[in-house]
Amino acid sequence: MAEPHLKPRFLSHGTVECHDLQAAKRLYTELFGMEVVQTSDRSLMLRLNSATTVVCVQTKGETKAGIYSHFGFDFETEAEVDAAYEVVQAQAETYGLQKVSKPTHQHGTYAFYVVDGDGNWWEILTNPEGGYSYVFDVDEKSETWRDQNHGRDRISGWEEKAGG
């Protein structure tokens, strides 16, 4: 097997969509037994016995294939993400990539997206060691949720916020 062009530390996360955040939370905790933390007024993070995280984003209307349905490859530094961007750009034609976005700061990280030949979305990003595991370091008995938009814990009442 040939040496890979990119060498991410691990596959940190993937994303799924939902239409009702509260119903999704019930499904993932009660039926599947997953650990669930709310991270914004329209998102949850889920995990089960690993550091790999599934992000659940509430969308309006029909579930769409696209940017919300992606998996992320983590790198330690912005310089590594920039270097990966250069490699991906150089290899885009070879691998039939449909799209490669420019790296940008977003949702508390530095990242870019790649759309492969099949239309699958992949994110290449900076993250601390353990990926999104830090969002699960919230006291289970508290009523706070991890706010990635503002980089701080936020007092919740999230049941009321979930529909918006």
HEC letters along 57-119? EECCCCCCCCCCCEEEEEECCHHHHHHHHHHHHHHCCCCCCCEECCCEEECCEEEEEEECCCC
Structure tokens at 159: 């049941």
Domains and CATH numbers, the chain: 11-161 (3.10.180.10)
The pLDDT value recorded for residue 27 is 87
Task: Give per-10-residue mean pLDDT for the chain (164 aa).
Answer: 91 88 91 92 92 88 71 92 95 91 91 85 88 74 57 35 29
The pLDDT value recorded for residue 32 is 87
pTM here is 0.66
5 in Cβ contact with 87 (< 8 Å) = yes
The pLDDT value recorded for residue 147 is 61
- What are φ and ψ of residue 140, in 5° steps? -60, -30
User: What does the DSSP 8-state code read for residue 161?
Assistant: H
- List the Cα angle 44/141/16 in 5-degree steps: 10
Structure tokens at 5: 């062009």
**Mapping DSSP to helix (H, G, I), strand (E, B) and coil, where does residue 4 land?**
coil
